[in-house]
Structure 1
Amino acid sequence: MLFSHLRVVVAGALAALGDATLAPKKYHTIPLGKIRPAGWLKDQLQVQTDGLAGHEHEFYKWVNDTDWVGGTAAYSYLEEVYAPTLEVRVNFTPQNAMVPNAILAESPVLKQKTWEFLEYVLDTQDETGWLGPEVGTDKRRELWGRYPFFFGSIQMVEFYPELTERVVDALHRFVVLANKMLKAGKLSARLGTDMWAETRFEDFIVTLQWLYDNHPRGQEDLLIDTMIESKWSGIKWELVFSEEFFPKVEAEKLENPFPELSWHGVNMAEGLKALPAIYRFTHNQSDLDVASKGWDMLFQYHGRPSGAFAADEYLAGLEAVRGTELCLVVEAMFSASYLYQVTGDPKYADQAERMAYNALPATLTGNMWGRQYLQQQNQVASKNMTPNPFPEDGPYSNVFGLEPNYPCCTVDFPQGWPKFITHAFLVTSDSKSLVHLYLGPFSTSVVLADDNLVTANVETLYPFGDTLTTTITATKPFTYFVRIPSWITKGTVSLNGGPPVAVQPVKGLHAVSVDAGKTTLVLDLPGDIRLESRPHGSIAVHRGVLNYAFDIPRIEKQLSVHPAEPRAVDLEFTPADAWQYAIDPSTIAYSNNPPASGILPSPIYDAGLPPVTLSVSACPIDWPLDGDMFAAPPPENPTCVGSWRNITLWPFGAAKLRISEFPVATMPKYEFVAQHGVDEV
């Protein structure tokens, strides 16, 4: 009753405005293809394309050639598989991930596949405006399956302007129908929505806002009305993320006052962008305030040193062996980018960068032919677990393979790197300035206000190095902004060979006045070693954006191989050596051994390959397994049971078996002297 009353009040207030408009975003995105990866990041994208992401269409049952030619794959696995049983929830179309992957990797084959699929869907739109293969059947129409397709279509238009009229025509026809369906749903069995659509309505709102901002065609009132209807068809994220209702412990320990999928990890990762999207048509600061507070609570009570948060289906608290879904990682990265665009709060960009350089590569094999469904912060084996540590997911969930547990992550993960790249630069709302948001090797070319053509090329090994050299050319003077992460305390910048001066970020951005012509900007961003307190008195270790872990030597066993693709294998990893160590954090030392060629190994995110490491003194301790092969909680105040030694910590993303939340012990002075010399005591 309360929700119904609130809905009428808010919708009525908005309708009364008559000329309701969208609040502007702080920053605008740059069209797909205008930002390109360089250096090691370009290689990383190529590794992804040479792996599963570039070959799924050849053999994978949800994305194979037959279904792409027939145009049915994206919808069949959305609706024919998950809807009847909810036992298999493949919840994204390949188009959403394959489009940016194809364009940024410059893959002719993938470009052709995405084009064929778009053509098919547009060609089969029926007279009512509906998009989908169930046209002409009595199948119940579901809105949600279209939203990822819309994201893919928008990206296609950005890169292929010649598609604009066809895509925009189709979307506007669909909006008219969707508005009717959403309104009819108030009087019927929620026509067009289901339990998943109720949590993911924000994806449709973002699509509607793209139309409003770029191609409104005089339909502004209808578009905003459809945003309102879509918002009220779904979960009340303003309550889910509120202080009163947010779950501060593992979900299974509480009774959810909302529909159960509101605490589902991937839904929450997508739902993070709901309130900023709603803010744009409500203009209510409270929407942004709740989004900010909800974000903070999510990472306070469920956050991971890797930058992600824990949810093995549902929110999973802070224990190091609970899981984080791969879909969650890439969707949270996308939501963080959107939150930054709307609000300009640097905490969202910091978190997205942490996830990209830690959590995302950690859950993929180096060659990206295998992925996990769930990753663990302390992961001492990747195998069929007995007993199962994941309350809602299967014991096979942390195996590296084609589709352990559920297939969704196989088709969804390829959006991670491409969308991170696409949002690495932004333009200010007045279009006068360029913002380098995500640090790494990139290049971009963009026309700013007053026909100011600007290019920027960033050469760097970051995050495997501290220096970024940016060459900027511009036809007119302008202000260039570069994000300085919150973990940087001693950063410097030099301009055109001048002396380095301390960076002075405001709201996370350091401003540089750039003249017409060529400008060279050198940033030096050395990271401090930081310790993060974790449960049971354990600690996580960071330097700069990277989380560090003990990379456990592993034994690999092939569990299965796909009959049509020998590279698509399921792999079991078990430890080949001891992993039960406590560390003395006072002994941590950083080492950077960049390659003489300046070219990092490929793939960079695999055992022993990153050039940056930490060494630390450690001693063996009693640390039991809890079940077949997952670590018990880190022992508090452990006793050393062997001699002290140095161990090496590697970037988290390169360690597929790892300890990254460490018990702590204090190294005796005589041991320190023996290892480090008397002058260092």
Structure 2
Amino acid sequence: MIKKSFIILSFAISTVQIQAQNSFYIANKAPLAPLKYIELPLGAVKPKGWLHTQLAIMNNGTTGHLDEYYPKIMNDNGWLGGKGDAWEETPYWLDGALPLAYLLDDENLKKKVKKYVDWVLDNQRPNGYIGGITKDERAGKTLSDCQQGDDWWPKMVMIKVLQQYYTATNDKRVIRCLTNYFKYQHQNLKTCPLVKWTEWAQARGGDNLMSVYWLYNITGDKFLLELGDTIYQQTTPWTYLLGKRNWVMQAASNQTDEKWMDRHAVNVGMGIKLPAIYYQSKKNPDLLKSLKTGWTDLMTLHGLPHGMYSGDEDLHGNDPTQGIELCSIVETMFSLEQILGITGDLTYADALERMTYNALPTQTTDDYNSRQYFQIANQVQVSRGVFDFSLPFQRGMCNVFGPYAGYTCCTANMHQGWTKFTSHLWYATPDKGLAALLFAPSTIKAKVGNGTEVSIEEETNYPFEDQINFTINTPKSVDFPLEIRIPVWCKEATLLLNGQKLSVEKGGKIARIKRLWANGDKLTLQLPMEVTTSNWAKNSRAIERGPLVYALKIEEEWTKREIKEEGTYYDIQPKSDWNYGLPRAVIQKTIENSSVTIKPKTEAFVWNSVNAPIEIQTIGKKIPSWKIIEGVARQPVTARDGVYLGEVNDKTEKITLIPYGCSKLRIVAFPVVK
């Protein structure tokens, strides 16, 4: 029998009144606004199942070994006191490699990353400055003036690295270092503002602000709140841009150099969190309103079926032939993870899962050693070329897979995507409970209720399957709330407790179970996944099931090539037809005209077309005139009723769709035909 000593409530999280802050973890101190959800220390969440496999692949590949062969990091590194890279790429790599080390408890990788952490902490200047050895210092001068320093921007990334290291180790040197560095900023930003050296620091000041408030929550130093106001005022006015709307509309058509940094997709991905970060200080609901308005406009005007907005490099509209920069995906993911904790708004959780499970995995190779600078939604070949990108790049390398193809920022920055997503699967609640806001196989170990440390095993093959099992492990019975997100795509979810039906929940809500939990209690979440369609640019349609978007399975022919400037790379050509439209019958009666095949679960999971764990079979008709032109499969134009009126083959053919994230060649935005 189910114990009756519990309360279950479902609610839209924005209506919840938070009364207290969790004393076990780093929560907001007054006068900062209380957090809706509180981040857990690095290492509290551990990956399992296919997610563990993904992180292990990264550890065996680039993430675990980039410092052994990438010249910028390997040779005389500036973040170790050398004359080499002292800008963004080494901190970028550490921002993914350090959390990976603690998520996997890999001692070798911990030792690698700690060497950089130690150098930064041990070589802070007397005035608080951190970073590589400056030109003046190499000339024997002491840093006595901020004018002698270097760009603020790469230090913002290194600070994120130090924060994560602190939550994993509790090394007090981090707190001393950041306190002194922020004192240095407080004293010098008026003379040497964020924009002094580059516009990157100005555009990305939200990351600096985030770290200032994080430190305030530990030390309570009042100067940090003043510093926060200064940083906000010197940062690109993302709140204004997001809320006033003209910016995102103009970006759809303006590809000139006018204010291009405000349209740069990575800057946008980082900038969207600024209103939420600053809201903590000012508690002005207009800040969150501007964020929601801007996010909605961004995805309406520039959004693509895989859950990301276009950006090649600028925002570039919603045509499925536009590119997506890998850096913009991982930075947007991190921003949404921060926004979710501050606001509790489930809009951002649904958006985060969609881009993570669709856009992110397709842009790296199986071994995590090569990546694309730009992916394309309707990508029927991968090759060198200019295509429809706003940044064509002189050597035409933006679309191919390679360790260094295109700009190398993504070589260093891609590692934070999966690692930080893993760390944010779970949050603490302000009333000393836990919240599962994102789903993947994992284990959480945390203090709850009266201070008892519990662990919860999350067993699932989500996002491919529809059931998630949470098993409570506790040394004694303990009363605490457990909050479970019900995704917006799910019409009606079912919760079972120890095998018995507990409640039925609508999508887009939080289910909250407050009870005396006993060791071995098992909570099961069933999320029925229906095959549906969604409408995208030029009346195209995408097929979806649960959190996944599905793409046409195309046979691939990989060829390894090399150019002197950027080394080896891969291009991929199609070996099967791709120019299919979806008949109206599929749109009108999607479930009746599709069948789902789920393959047996395997721990040796890789995001590729051969191993795709699920397939959808449906029907299609070929469009003879839909061909590759200038390297691009440009979208056929349809009439107002959504149907393509050009020549279409009479013959109906069976076609197979796989998860978008498992594809390298694909059609995801299909024209509709008769």
TM-score by length of 1: 0.87
Aligned-pair CA distance for 1:66:
4.8
Residue 660 (structure 2) pairs with residue 652 (structure 1): yes
Q: Is the 8 A contact 1:359 1:652 kept in 2?
A: yes
Structure 2 Cα separation of the partners of residues 537 and 602 of structure 1: 34
Structure 2 Cα separation of the partners of residues 62 and 635 of structure 1: 46
> What is aligned with 1:675?
none
The structure 2 residue matched to 1:538, chosen from 537, 540, 545, is 540
Structure 2 Cα separation of the partners of residues 346 and 562 of structure 1: 47
Alignment of 1:317-466 (within 5 A): 317-385=317-385, 387-394=386-393, 395-430=396-431, 432-466=432-466
Which amino acid in the other structure matches residue 648 of structure 2? C
- SS of residue paired to 1:121: helix
Unaligned runs of 5+ in 1: 1-18, 79-89, 667-681
Which amino acid in the other structure matches residue 147 of structure 1? M
Q: Is the 8 A contact 1:182 1:191 kept in 2?
A: no
> What is aligned with 1:665?
673
Q: Is the 8 A contact 1:58 1:65 kept in 2?
A: no
Aligned-pair CA distance for 1:630:
1.4
Q: Is the 8 A contact 2:251 2:263 kept in 1?
A: no
* Greater shift in the superposed pair: 341-350 or 632-641: 632-641
Alignment of 1:165-244 (within 5 A): 165-185=172-192, 192-216=196-220, 219-220=221-222, 222-244=223-245
Aligned-pair CA distance for 1:52:
1.6
Map Cα deviations across residues 204-253 of structure 1 (whole Å, 9 max, x no partner): 1111111111233xx22x10111111111121112211234232265453
Distance 1:504 1:330, change over 3 A: same
Aligned-pair CA distance for 1:647:
0.5
Which amino acid in the other structure matches residue 523 of structure 1? L
> What is aligned with 2:157?
148
> What is aligned with 1:67?
77
Alignment of 1:459-474 (within 5 A): 459-474=459-474
Which amino acid in the other structure matches residue 596 of structure 2? S
Structure 1 Cα separation of the partners of residues 381 and 91 of structure 2: 29
Aligned-pair CA distance for 1:370:
1.2
Which amino acid in the other structure matches residue 339 of structure 1? I
> What is aligned with 2:26?
none
Structure 1 Cα separation of the partners of residues 464 and 217 of structure 2: 38
> What is aligned with 1:50?
60
Residue 85 (structure 2) pairs with residue 107 (structure 1): no
Which amino acid in the other structure matches residue 175 of structure 1? F
> What is aligned with 2:598?
593
Q: Is the 8 A contact 2:81 2:133 kept in 1?
A: no
Structure 1 Cα separation of the partners of residues 659 and 30 of structure 2: 49
Which amino acid in the other structure matches residue 621 of structure 2? C
Aligned-pair CA distance for 1:450:
2.0
Distance 1:20 1:343, change over 3 A: closer
Q: Is the 8 A contact 2:252 2:302 kept in 1?
A: no
Aligned-pair CA distance for 1:534:
1.5
> What is aligned with 1:96?
95
Distance 1:74 1:530, change over 3 A: farther
Map Cα deviations across residues 256-298 of structure 1 (whole Å, 9 max, x no partner): 87x3211110000000110111111122111111011111111
- SS of residue paired to 1:312: coil
Q: Is the 8 A contact 2:494 2:501 kept in 1?
A: no
Aligned-pair CA distance for 1:185:
3.5
Map Cα deviations across residues 356-410 of structure 1 (whole Å, 9 max, x no partner): 111000111122221111111100111111x432122423111011021100111
Q: How well do the aligned residues superpose, as a CA RMSD in angstroms?
A: 2.4
Which amino acid in the other structure matches residue 602 of structure 1? F
Distance 1:72 1:38, change over 3 A: farther
Map Cα deviations across residues 448-469 of structure 1 (whole Å, 9 max, x no partner): 2421322210111111111111
> What is aligned with 2:7?
none
Which amino acid in the other structure matches residue 571 of structure 1? Y
Aligned-pair CA distance for 1:24:
1.8
TM-score by length of 2: 0.87
> What is aligned with 1:640?
648
Which amino acid in the other structure matches residue 155 of structure 1? Q
Distance 1:63 1:91, change over 3 A: closer
Aligned-pair CA distance for 1:611:
2.2
Structure 2 Cα separation of the partners of residues 576 and 499 of structure 1: 49
Map Cα deviations across residues 110-162 of structure 1 (whole Å, 9 max, x no partner): 2111100011111211111111123415854221110110111111111112x
Map Cα deviations across residues 496-519 of structure 1 (whole Å, 9 max, x no partner): 1113641256x6211123423221
Structure 2 Cα separation of the partners of residues 449 and 223 of structure 1: 31
Distance 1:436 1:53, change over 3 A: same
* Greater shift in the superposed pair: 571-580 or 242-251: 242-251
Aligned-pair CA distance for 1:21:
2.1
Aligned-pair CA distance for 1:63:
2.2
- SS of residue paired to 1:292: helix
Which amino acid in the other structure matches residue 219 of structure 2? H
Which amino acid in the other structure matches residue 245 of structure 1? N
Q: Is the 8 A contact 2:79 2:120 kept in 1?
A: no
Aligned-pair CA distance for 1:350:
0.5
- SS of residue paired to 2:633: coil
> What is aligned with 1:489?
491
Unaligned runs of 5+ in 2: 1-28, 140-147, 639-643
Q: Is the 8 A contact 2:304 2:536 kept in 1?
A: no
Q: Is the 8 A contact 1:130 1:177 kept in 2?
A: yes
Map Cα deviations across residues 79-134 of structure 1 (whole Å, 9 max, x no partner): xxxxxxxxxxx595322111111211332222111100011111211111111123
Which amino acid in the other structure matches residue 343 of structure 1? T
Aligned-pair CA distance for 1:549:
0.1
Which amino acid in the other structure matches residue 330 of structure 1? V
The structure 1 residue matched to 2:38, chosen from 28, 32, 44, is 28
* Greater shift in the superposed pair: 234-243 or 26-35: 234-243
Map Cα deviations across residues 5-47 of structure 1 (whole Å, 9 max, x no partner): xxxxxxxxxxxxxx98211211101100010111111111111
- SS of residue paired to 2:321: coil
Distance 1:357 1:43, change over 3 A: same
- SS of residue paired to 1:549: strand
- SS of residue paired to 1:560: strand
Distance 1:590 1:193, change over 3 A: farther
Structure 1 Cα separation of the partners of residues 152 and 565 of structure 2: 35
Structure 1 Cα separation of the partners of residues 565 and 51 of structure 2: 32
Which amino acid in the other structure matches residue 349 of structure 2? A
Structure 2 Cα separation of the partners of residues 74 and 223 of structure 1: 32
Which amino acid in the other structure matches residue 157 of structure 1? Y
Which consecutive aligned stretches of 4+ in structure 1 deviate over 6 angstroms post-superposition?
Answer: 254-257, 561-564
Structure 1 Cα separation of the partners of residues 197 and 292 of structure 2: 27
> What is aligned with 2:120?
121
> What is aligned with 1:160?
169
Distance 1:354 1:562, change over 3 A: farther
Aligned-pair CA distance for 1:486:
0.1
Which amino acid in the other structure matches residue 206 of structure 1? M
Q: Is the 8 A contact 2:480 2:516 kept in 1?
A: yes
Q: Is the 8 A contact 1:184 1:191 kept in 2?
A: no
Map Cα deviations across residues 287-331 of structure 1 (whole Å, 9 max, x no partner): 111011111111111111111111111111001010011001011
Distance 1:524 1:166, change over 3 A: same
* Greater shift in the superposed pair: 525-534 or 288-297: 525-534
Map Cα deviations across residues 520-565 of structure 1 (whole Å, 9 max, x no partner): 011111112221111222111111000100122111110129999x
